[in-house]
Amino acid sequence: MTFELWNLSLYKNLSPFNSLILYECFAMKILLHICCAPCAIYPLKVLRERGNDVYGLYYNPNIHPYSEYKKRLDTLEKYAGDVGLKIIVSDEYPMEEFLRNVVFREQDRCRYCYYSRLSYAAHIARKGHFDGFTSTLLYSKFQDHNMITNLGNSLAKEYNVAFHYEDFRKGWKEGIETSRKLGMYRQQYCGCIYSEKERFYKKAKIG
């Protein structure tokens, strides 16, 4: 069936369920927000398998220090070159803004962290006339999947651009194995200085 067979009136008469099928049937220009190269492997693979035109977006002011942010970016740029992925790299790194927004509410910091990155992705997707946006955050078993999904859906309404939800966690093992085979740099902590402390700081044992 070719695209020409679907006219606008038919589209308008589709039930939400059929609209979803239609959405899945046609290739889309998708903006994939990427937190790091290892997490991009599986989402990129499945999105491309369906014929979507995928662009990557690197915007992660939550990754500290800057040398770590750059290391993850360098790894992504190398991988993107190898697999022919076009990436948009933000020239902004508002680390100070990130810290100002989470200080004194460190326990709830991930909400702001997801929000800042997804809202930037929605903004770029809207500006760049993408059909939708999504994020490699949906790949991680260590992130709050429901919170990311809810934020994505609410930002989709706010920016009037579709949020492509998918449970990329299904490919968790596959992504890890591939990144290891490729000898890709794999970071040891989530990103922010708080997560770095949680990963490495061990309280001194008394006695």
For ligand SF4, the binding residues (CB under 6 A) are 62, 109-110, 113, 190-192, 194-195
Closest distance to ligand SF4 from the beta carbon of 153 (Å): 18
Provide the CB-side half-sphere exposure for 34 (13 A, CA).
Answer: 32
What is the smallest separation between the CB atom of 83 and ligand SF4, expressed in angstroms?
25
Contact 32, 136 (CB under 8 A): yes
Residue 26 or 142: the one with the smaller Cβ distance to ligand SF4 is 142
Would you say 37 or 190 has its CB closer to ligand SF4?
A: 190
* Closer of 103 and 206 to ligand SF4 (Cβ): 103
Query: What gap in Å lies between CA 34 and CA 37, rounded to an integer?
Result: 7
Least spacing, CB of residue 159 vs ligand SF4, in Å: 21
Q: Answer yes or no: are the C-beta atoms of 30 and 131 closer than 8 Å.
A: yes
Is 56 strand, coil or helix?
strand
Q: State the residue for tokens 């044992």.
A: 205
CB of 189 to ligand SF4, least distance (A): 8
Contacts of 194 (CB under 8 A, 6+ apart): 102, 106, 109
Question: Alpha-carbon distance 102 to 105, whole Å?
Answer: 5
The nearest distance, CB 190 to ligand SF4, in angstroms, is 3
Task: Choose between 114 and 130: whose C-beta lies nearer to ligand SF4.
Answer: 114
- 90 or 126: whose CB is closer to ligand SF4? 90
